[in-house]
Amino acid sequence: MPGTPPLAVDALGPSEGQPPEPAQSGYAPMIANAPALNWVGPDDAWSRAWAAPAAAVHPSAPLPIEAAPPPMPQGIPVAPLPPPPLPLPGSVVAVVPLAARQKAAAARQAVGPASADGAADTGSVGPTPQDIVLIRRSLAVVEPVADRATAHFYAGLFLARPELRALFPAAMDVQRDRLFRALLAAGRAADDPPTLVDYLEKLARGHRRYGVRDEHYAPVGAALLAALERYCGREWSEDTARAWEKVYGVISQVMMAAAARDAQSSPAWWQGEVQSVEPVTRDIAVVTLRTDHHYPYRAGQYASIEVPWWPRVWRNYSLACPAAAPSRPGVDGLLRMHVKAVPAGWVSNALVHRAQPGDVVRLGPAQGRMVVDPRETDPLLLVGGGTGVAPLLAIVEELALSGARRTVEVHYGARRAEELYAWPALQELDRRLPWLSIRTAVAEPTPGTTPPAGAERGTLPEVIGHSGPWEGYRACLSGPSAMIRRTRGVLLGAGVRAEHMLYDLEDGQS
């Protein structure tokens, strides 16, 4: 596998690091073999690799997916919440698991005081406006040295609770600062309850796939406070510690409640059996998966994927097909993703060059804000760079299925002509859908290759800047973050309203 760091497979023990035997013909039915290399549970590969006692890591392990209770039927009337609630713990180490409903109520109450106008609700135990000031001051000191604080945080966490190391990938390069930074981001949003709750609920749902349990929150909170104390210097005081305890109390309550609610209707992860891996360029393949359970998503969203060979390493890939529904007999329900093998990309190289029909990957819940409202009628501009075209194909198909008749213009760009792999699929849609128009852009001419007729020369932001007019348009932007940011700037200058542009940036920033 080109560029893949020499890691992890050896750490997993002799049988775990090897790819499954390729199927002799076609592929074996899924599920039978699905406990798989990346199974998360007592005595799983990870626990063994890190010599963590299974009982300590997973005191009550999650059920395997195939034995999980069936999803709750939709639309069950929800009983009113019981009168509130347990007070929030005053100290992070006192966080205790609560029943889901109680937790939700506690979380709502806890978030209350930092209301938009800053007025504290009497009798509430969440952070006060004074606490928020202390949180902000401490963040201002810690954020410039976040790298060192992150290292301190993980060192403290794993020293105190070595078994928690099993929840993280072998190499913490990418993941390294995610948790700590997420906690800092939550601290920053402490005075904006709707944003905070929305952020934390998504974070909690996404974290179910890591095997996070309620009892993990207390040691994480303790490590967070220790790291903050260490790097806040003179800005740290007893009042600051109490403010962070309150905020972390809210964070943990909201996250536990969200995870518990999500568990009532959704598995922590899905298993996806590889159906095919079709190379479309030297380093891009269309990977098709069949999931063990219905996988809910909206066109434009992405799924996080873990391959069996790199446990606990997750990467996001957009779904290139519309979602299946009983009312859509023509949609096969398979998931298609366009994966580019990037240098040193563990997951992308495994999917493009190693995965075979029959291999089983895990999927986290679908995420992403680039979801088009089918009721809108404004003209729509779809800008896709490289494999960023994948979710745009799903959006166009989705609009076709929903009977939309709005003007849709796709601008599809690549660095070189031979990288415009989705051109045939777009041409096919163009022939079928009278409201659709497609334009291509190629940044660098390559001798010996012919760009599609009419292809423009330049990067997508340049080409979009020369086209238009775009006033009155809505837009979806998909591709490298730099391309998205620059195209967004161009469109803002061309009169497109900021709230009319949908995109997801790889670095999670906006």
Contacts of ligand NAI in 242-261 (CB under 6 A): none
| Residue 469 preceded by cis peptide, ω within 30 | yes
Contacts of ligand NAI in 312-351 (CB under 6 A): 318, 340
Query: Could you tell me if 420 and 452 are in contact, meaning their C-beta atoms sit under 8 angstroms apart?
Result: yes
Q: Which residues contact 344 (CB under 8 A, 6 or more apart)?
A: 3, 4, 5
Please pick, from the candidates 114, 246, 459, 502, the single residue that binds ligand NAI as defined by CB under 6 A.
Answer: 459
Closest residue by beta carbon to ligand NAI: 386
> b/e map of 377-387 (b: 16 or more CB within 10 Å)?
eebbbbbbbbb
| Contact call for residue 506 and ligand NAI (CB under 6 A) | yes
Closest approach of ligand NAI to the CB of residue 423, in Å: 13
| Contact call for residue 23 and ligand NAI (CB under 6 A) | no
Please pick, from the candidates 38, 138, 252, 478, the single residue that binds ligand NAI as defined by CB under 6 A.
Answer: 478
| Contact call for residue 465 and ligand NAI (CB under 6 A) | no
For 210-325, strand residue ranges (E) read 270-279, 284-291, 302-306, 315-318
Please pick, from the candidates 111, 258, 483, 501, the single residue that binds ligand NAI as defined by CB under 6 A.
Answer: 483
Please pick, from the candidates 391, 397, 408, 409, the single residue that binds ligand NAI as defined by CB under 6 A.
Answer: 391
φ, ψ of residue 73 in degrees (nearest 5): -60, 145
Closest approach of ligand NAI to the CB of residue 365, in Å: 16
Query: Could you tell me if 304 and 364 are in contact, meaning their C-beta atoms sit under 8 angstroms apart?
Result: yes
Among 270, 172, 137, 161, which residue's Cα sits nearest to residue 217?
A: 161
Closest approach of ligand NAI to the CB of residue 272, in Å: 18
Closest approach of ligand NAI to the CB of residue 30, in Å: 26
Our CB check for ligand NAI shows the closer of 220 and 441 to be 441
Handedness of CA 420, 421, 424, 429 (dihedral sign): negative
Our CB check for ligand NAI shows the closer of 62 and 388 to be 388
Cβ atoms within 10 Å, residue 129: 14
Element spanning 244, H or E: helix 238-263
In the numeric block, which tokens belong to residue 224?
């967070």
Rg for the chain (alpha carbons), in Å?
24
Residues 410 and 468: their CA atoms lie apart, in Å, by: 12
Closest approach of ligand NAI to the CB of residue 195, in Å: 21
Please pick, from the candidates 385, 426, 491, 496, the single residue that binds ligand NAI as defined by CB under 6 A.
Answer: 385
Closest approach of ligand NAI to the CB of residue 7, in Å: 22
| Contact call for residue 390 and ligand NAI (CB under 6 A) | yes
Per-residue interface string for the shown chain with ligand NAI, residues 416-445, x marking contact by CB under 6 A: -------------------------x-x--
| Contact call for residue 388 and ligand NAI (CB under 6 A) | yes
Amino acid at 24: Q
Our CB check for ligand NAI shows the closer of 124 and 387 to be 387
CA distances (Å), origin 423, targets 194, 381, 453, 505:
41, 17, 11, 24
CA distances (Å), origin 114, targets 130, 189, 389:
10, 10, 41
Residues 254 and 85: their CA atoms lie apart, in Å, by: 13
List, in sequence order, every residue forming a beta bridge with 289; answer none if it has no partner: 274, 335
Please pick, from the candidates 23, 72, 174, 482, the single residue that binds ligand NAI as defined by CB under 6 A.
Answer: 482
Closest approach of ligand NAI to the CB of residue 461, in Å: 5
Stretch that binds ligand NAI, among 13-21, 36-44, 214-222, 382-390 (CB under 6 A): 382-390
Contacts of ligand NAI in 87-116 (CB under 6 A): none
| Contact call for residue 162 and ligand NAI (CB under 6 A) | no
| Contact call for residue 85 and ligand NAI (CB under 6 A) | no
Our CB check for ligand NAI shows the closer of 128 and 387 to be 387
Stretch that binds ligand NAI, among 34-42, 46-54, 214-222, 380-388 (CB under 6 A): 380-388
Among 9, 44, 33, 12, which residue's Cα sits nearest to residue 358?
A: 33
- What residues make contact with ligand NAI under the rule CB under 6 A? 318, 340, 370, 385-388, 390-391, 413-415, 441, 443, 459-461, 478-480, 482-483, 486, 503-504, 506
